[in-house]
Each structure stands twice: as structure tokens, then as C-alpha cells.
Amino acid sequence: MIILFDLDGTLIDSTEAILESFHYAFDFYGYRHPDDESIKALIGHPLDYMFAKLGVEDEKVWDFVAVYKEHYREISTQKTVLLPHAREAVELAATFAKLGIVTTKTGKYSKVLMEYFGIMNKFKVLIGREHVEHPKPHAEPILKALEAFDIEDKDVWMIGDTQMDMVAAEAAGVNAIAVTSGYDSRDTLKKFTDVVFNDAYEAVKWLKRRKISHT
């Protein structure tokens, strides 16, 4: 079995770091700030998409992204936490499956975070925004991650908290599990999958029971 995890809203809560970094970028360029709810509604999308949706002109988007990333790099470990039971989810999953991370966050900084939390060694691969041309909800990040695993293993699951995770999983031909610990509501997620849990730990326990029952 292969289990791929999203990060924000699935394993980690970096909302404070994300919001601060967005406001820092808008301050840096003297732009009017969007409100926090408008920013949070876009979390899960790539940064360039988020800034564009928040009113930054196309020709300036990547300047904003660069400033955001520099500030985020400085504060991310101090202002990001593992979600409740996320560590237990990863440790349990590692006992019966091979693990990967598929995120729209920058992979370089995501790896630093996972190492900071002491769980990066549980994952065989981490695919971030810079590793693909097309981020989620495109299938490419999941397919890219699967290149690191035995192609004979067809029992693949993507655990995520947004509809983008669910759409990407379907596009990649893998199973999807939604968790309500993040940014999309249960009602929204149930439009994309029948398998919905409160958090990643519940999802992993269900997968373990399922694997045992199928052996």
C-alpha cells in the first residue's frame, strides 16, 4: 500500500505563517491588504494563483511570491504546528504502507518543516510546487510521486483536506480520502469522495483495518 499525504490542513497547520507572509508581501509593495478570510479561502492553491486572485497584477505576481517565500522561510518553523494526531497518523501509516507527501507548498521548505518535526524520515518522496509544471488539482504531482515507488503496487491512497486533493487523486487514478481538519467543509468534500474522516489519524486507522481485512 502507498499513502500520499497533503500537508496544509492534513498534517500541519501553517495558517499563521501563511497569513503573516501574505500581509508582509502586501506591506512590502504598499498594496492594500486582503482580509484573512479571503486568503484562507485560497489556501491549497499555488502562491501565484493566490496572489492573482487577491488582486495583484500578472506582471507583479512573481515579485510578490518571492517576497512571501523569503519571509515564510524565516518564520515557518516557529509559526507552524503539526495538527492533533498527525504525528501518530504518520507513525502508524509507516508500519504498514510506503509514504509520500504531495503539496502545492514549496518542496524545499516543506522538507525543512518535516525534518523540524522529526518525521521526514518516514516519507520516501516529497513533491512540492517546484517539482511539477502543473500543481494540484492536476494529476501530475501524484503521478510524479508514484515514480518513487514500486509500480506494481496499485493500492494507492491520497489523503487531503481540499477538493483539489480529491480531483487530483481521481485524475491520477488513485483512491481519495478526505479529512475535515483543514480548509474545505465536509459538505464540499462529500461531493468528491464518500470516504471522509475528521483527521489523518482516523483515515490511517481505517486504512490499516481495511488492509488487514483484505489479507
Please give the pLDDT value at position 155. Answer: 93
CB 109 within 8 A of CB 36: no
DSSP string of 109-143, one letter each residue: HHHHHHHHTT-GGG-SEEE-GGG-SS-TTSSHHHH
Q: What CATH number belongs to 2-13+81-214?
A: 3.40.50.1000
Give the max Cα distance, the chain. Answer: 60
| Confidence category of residue 191, pLDDT binned at 50, 70, 90 | very high
Query: How far, in Å, CA of 112 to CA of 105, rounded?
Result: 12
Cis peptide before 141 (omega within 30 of 0): no
| Confidence category of residue 153, pLDDT binned at 50, 70, 90 | confident
CA atoms within 13 A of residue 9's CA, in its CB half-sphere? 26
Q: What phi, psi does 196 have (nearest 5°)? A: -130, 130
Please give the pLDDT value at position 215. Answer: 67
pLDDT, tens digit, for every residue of 118-146? 999 999 999 999 999 999 999 999 999 99
Query: How far, in Å, CA of 33 to CA of 78, rounded?
Result: 23
pLDDT, tens digit, for every residue of 20-34? 999 999 999 999 999
For the chain, give every domain's residue range: 2-13+81-214, 14-76
Please state which of the ranges 5-9, 138-142, 147-151 shows the lowest mean pLDDT.
147-151
CB 176 within 8 A of CB 166: yes
Q: CB under 8 Å to 2, separation ≥6 — which residues? A: 97, 98, 99, 100, 146, 149, 153, 155, 156, 157
- Please give the class, per CATH, of domain 14-76: mainly alpha
pLDDT, tens digit, for every residue of 35-82? 999 999 999 889 999 999 999 999 999 999 999 999 999 999 999 999
Measured between alpha carbons, how far is residue 188 from residues 12, 70, 180, 191, 193 in Å? 20, 33, 10, 6, 10
pTM tops 0.75, yes or no = yes
